[in-house]
Chains A and B, each alone.
Chain A
Amino acid sequence: MPVATGGAIRGLTSGGVIATGTRILLSNAWHLMLQPGDERIATLGGLHRLMAWDRPILTDSGGYQVASLENLRKVSETGVHLRSYRDGSPHDLTPERAIEIQRNLGSDIAMVLDECLSLPAPPEEVERAAARSLRWAERSLVPQRAPGQLLFGIVQGGTLADVRRDNARALVSLGPPGEGFDGFGIGGLLMGEAGEDTRRMTALSAEVLGEERPRYLMGAGLPADLIESAGLGMDLFDSVIPTRLARRGIVFTSTGRLNVSRAPYRDDVAPLDEECECLACRDYCRAWLHHLLRAKERIAATLLSAHNLTFYAGLMARLREAIAADCFSDFHEENRHRWRSAGSPG
C-alpha cells in the first residue's frame, strides 16, 4: 500500500495511481483529522469522494505519528493528549476518538490506536506500552464503525519474544467469537532494530495470530523486506519508500536500483527500465528525467513515484505468483539482494 498522507500521492491523479497497478492506498487519520477535519470529510461523503478514489483505503489511526512528536504529546491511560503541529490547538486522541475519526472518513479498513514507543526502550517500558495497547484495543471494539468497515488490532511488544507472544495471543481472543478483529497489524517493528530481530518477531507474530485473518506488517519496506516478510507469512504492507526515494531520484528497475540524478544518466536516452510500461518509462528517457530532477520540476517526483509504485505493484504480483506456484524459495534466493543499495547490509 503506498501512502497518501493527506489524501493524495505525489501529483498523481486517481487514474494515474490506478495505472500503476496500485489497488489500495493508506491514509493517515490523524493528519486528516487536523486538516481538513474528519467531520468535514464526512459532510462531503467520505475520503473516497474527497480523493475521487473508489478502491480500498486503509487508514492508520495515528499511533505511529504521535509517537514521533515527543514535545507535543502526553500519553495517559485515557489516550494521547496532543497539540496540533499546524496551529498548536489541543486534541485528545483516545481509542474511541480514533474509531470515530475513521468512521467519519469511511475507510475500508481501520486500525486501532496503539501506543508506539521509539526504540531502543527499556524492557519494562515495552511491556507497559504493550499492555496498554491491548487495553486500548479492547476499548476500540466497542464504538460503532462505518458500514462494512473492517478493524485491525495491532500487536506490540517490541523485540521481547514473551511480551509479543502474550500480546498477540490476547489480541486474537478479544471480542466475542466471530466479532473480534478482522485482521492484525504487526506494529513496533522496523524502527531501527537489527534485521535478525525483525525476522524473529515477524515469524513469532505470524505463528500466534493464526491462519484465518490477514497479517499486516506495518512500515515494510524495501523490496528485500517485502520478499522476506512475505516468506514469513505476512499479507499486507505499507511504505513511504517508493515515493520518498523517488523524490531523490532513486528508482527500482528489473536490473537493480539506480539514482537517475547521478551524472552517468545525463546523456542516457534509454527508458528507466526497458521492461517497464509505466507512464514514466513509456514517455520519458533517463536523460530527460535526470534533467527534470536537476531542474527541480515537480513532475520529476510524480514520474519517478509512478515508476516505483508500478515496480512495487509488479513485484507483489510476481511474489504472489511464486507463492501460488510453490516456488517462493527460488524467487527469494534470486531476488533478495537485487535491489539493495550499495551500502546496505546483507
Chain B
Amino acid sequence: MKLFLEKITSSGGRVGRLVWCTESAQSVLETPLCLPYTRAGAIPHIVQSVYQDLSPRPTAAMLTLPSLYELPGSAVLKEYDYGIHNFLNMKDQFLYLSIQDPHCPPRSGFNEEKSTSVWTNGGRMKVSVAGYMEFVRASRPNVFESLCDSVSSQTNKLKRVRKSVDRTLRFLDQTLAMRQNCQVLEECGLLGAVVGGDVYEERVRSATETVKRPVDGFVIEGFDLEHSHECYQSILQSATSVLPQSSPRFIHGVYSPGDILTAVESGVDVFDSACVLTATENGCAFTFHNSSSDCVENRRENRGATENIAAEPPSHQIDLNDEKYAMDFSPLLRGCECYCCVHHTRAYIHHLLITREILASTLLMMHNFTHLMKFFASLRDVLRSPLESDYLHFKSLCAFPEHFLHA
C-alpha cells in the first residue's frame, strides 16, 4: 500500500491516491477516503447483493477485530486457509483491520501489560500480540492496525496516559519482530497507532517514537464523539505534524462534517463510516450539505426554486420517527439519487420505523451511506480546485456544531 499525494492545500488538507496491489491488479482509492465500516464482516443491514445499489459500490472496507476475533476466529480461518477476503466474499476489496470497533468503543480499565481487551459477542477477550498476529496471519488483510492500548480523551491521569504510550510502542516492537520472520505478515501493511489521550507531550512522544519504526502508515487513536472542539484540533495536529508527509494517516471516531474537515486540515487521509450506522439506528437520515457543485449563484437559484415548496431549514439530519413525516410523500432528501430516495418516501420510512420492520434500517443505511460517500467525493473535488474559496465555501455550508449525531 502506498500513498501518492496529488496536492497539499493551503488549508492543510491533502488529496491523493492510495494504491494497493492484489495478485491480479493494482487498485486505487482516492483520499480523503471514507472506508465502509463493517461489523462481523458485513456493512450492517446491507446484504452484498445490495452493494450494486450503493453509490459508489464498495471496493474497500474497515474490518473490526471485536466482531471477528471470536468468530470466525483464528482457528476457523486457519483451517479455511484462503484468508478473510475469500471467507467474506470480498476478493478484490481493500480490507483494513482495526483493533477496536469505533461504533462501540470499549470500556476503559481492562487493558493490561500484555494484552488489550476487545468485547466480542461472547464477552471480553484478551488480545495479546501473539494472539493477534495469529489472527492476522490466518486472515491476511491488506493492512492492519498494530495492537495498541488506547485511552479515551476522558482519561486525565498522566500516569495512565504514559503507560498507554509505552505499552503501544512495546506492542508495536513485538509485532515488528514477529512480522520480520513471516512472509505472510510482511505482505500485509502495518499501521502504527499514535496514542496519548489529551496530553500534548505524550501525543508528540507517541508520534515521534512510532515514526522511528518501519510502519506503512499511522492510526491516530483516541478520538471520539465526546471530544470538545477546542483542543481536538490542536491535539490532532500535535501528532500529525510529526508524521512523514508521504505516510497515510487513518483516524476513527470522527464523524461530524466539521470534525472531518478539521481532521483533513490537520493532515488525516482515511476515515470510517460508522456514523452511518449510528444515524440509521436512531431512525435518522443525513441531510447535511454534501455537494461540491453549489456556488453562490446556484444557491440563489435553488433558494428561489424551493420557495415554492415548503422551505426546510438546513439540518444535519432528520428524525423519521417524528409523526410529522407520516404523510410526507417526498423523498428523504430532494435531489438525492440513492435507491431509497428514488423509490420511497419519508412516509414509508416512518411507517417502517413504527412497525419496527428491519427494512427501515436497510433503506436508511442505503441513503446515509450514499450521502456520506458523496460528501467525501465533493470534499476531494473542492480540495483539488485551484480556488481556495471553493473549499472555504464548502466548509461554510457543512460545518455544524458538535453533538450532531445525537438526534
Contacts and interface: CB of A to CB of B under 8 A. Distances in A.
A299 B79 contact: no
B76 interface: yes
Contact of B352 (A6, A282, A291): A6
Given A13-B362, A279-B47, A302-B358, A288 B327 contact: no
A15 B41 CA distance: 23
B347 A11 contact: no
B47 A269 contact: no
Contacts of A83: none
B71 A35 contact: no
Q: How large is the interface on A (under 10, 10 to 19, 20 to 34, 35 or more residues)?
A: 35 or more
A208 B173 CA distance: 83
Interface in B75-108: 75-76, 79-80, 87-89
A40 to B, nearest CB: 6
A269 B87 contact: yes
A75 interface: no
A302 B359 CA distance: 9
Nearest to A12: B359
Contacts of B327: 40, 43
Interface residues of B, dominant DSSP: helix
Contacts of A290: 71
B76 A287 contact: yes
B76 A44 contact: no
A31 B347 CA distance: 16
Contacts of A209: none
B121 A16 contact: no
A222 interface: no
Best-surrounded residue of B50, B88, B354 (most CB of chain A within 10 A): B50
Interface in A274-299: 279-280, 282-285, 287-288, 290-292, 294-299
A306 B47 contact: yes
B47 A303 contact: yes
A266 B71 contact: yes
Contacts of B28: none
Contacts of B80: 267, 269, 287
Contacts of B75: 267
A299 B49 contact: no
Contact of B121 (A8, A288, A294): A294
Given A8-B352, A44-B345, A285-B87, A295 B358 contact: no
A310 to B, nearest CB: 12
Given A19-B49, A291-B72, A13 B355 contact: no
Interface residues of B, number: 43
Interface residues of A, dominant DSSP: helix
A8 B355 CA distance: 10
A10 B357 CA distance: 7
Best-surrounded residue of A51, A282, A287 (most CB of chain B within 10 A): A287
A298 B49 CA distance: 15
B259 to A, nearest CB: 28
Given A15-B53, A297-B40, A283 B47 contact: yes
Contacts of B339: 13
Interface in B369-406: none
A317 interface: no
B47 A16 contact: yes
A19 to B, nearest CB: 7
Given A8-B359, A15-B53, A40-B326, A299 B44 contact: yes
Contacts of A266: 71, 76
Contacts of A15: 53
A302 B47 contact: yes
A284 B76 contact: no
Contacts of A14: 343
A299 B347 contact: no
B357 A8 contact: yes
A299 B351 contact: no
Interface in B324-368: 326-327, 329, 339, 343-345, 347-348, 350-352, 354-355, 357-359, 361-363
A52 interface: yes
A13 B71 contact: no
B118 to A, nearest CB: 14
Best-surrounded residue of A13, A282, A288 (most CB of chain B within 10 A): A13
A122 interface: no
A279 B347 contact: no
A284 B351 contact: no
Nearest to A306: B47
A294 B70 CA distance: 11
Contacts of A287: 72, 76, 80, 87
A13 to B, nearest CB: 7
B351 A35 contact: yes
Nearest to A302: B47
A266 to B, nearest CB: 7
A62 to B, nearest CB: 15
B185 to A, nearest CB: 23
Contacts of B45: 11, 298-299
B242 interface: no
A109 to B, nearest CB: 22
B71 A11 contact: no
Nearest to B344: A52
A73 B142 CA distance: 61
A299 B329 contact: no
A287 B86 CA distance: 12
A284 B343 CA distance: 27
A7 interface: yes
B46 A284 contact: no
A137 interface: no
A327 interface: no
11 contacts: A11-B361, A11-B362, A43-B329, A44-B345, A284-B89, A291-B71, A291-B72, A296-B121, A299-B46, A303-B47, A306-B47
Interface of A: 5-16, 19, 31, 35-36, 40, 43-44, 50-52, 266-267, 269, 279-280, 282-285, 287-288, 290-292, 294-299, 301-303, 306
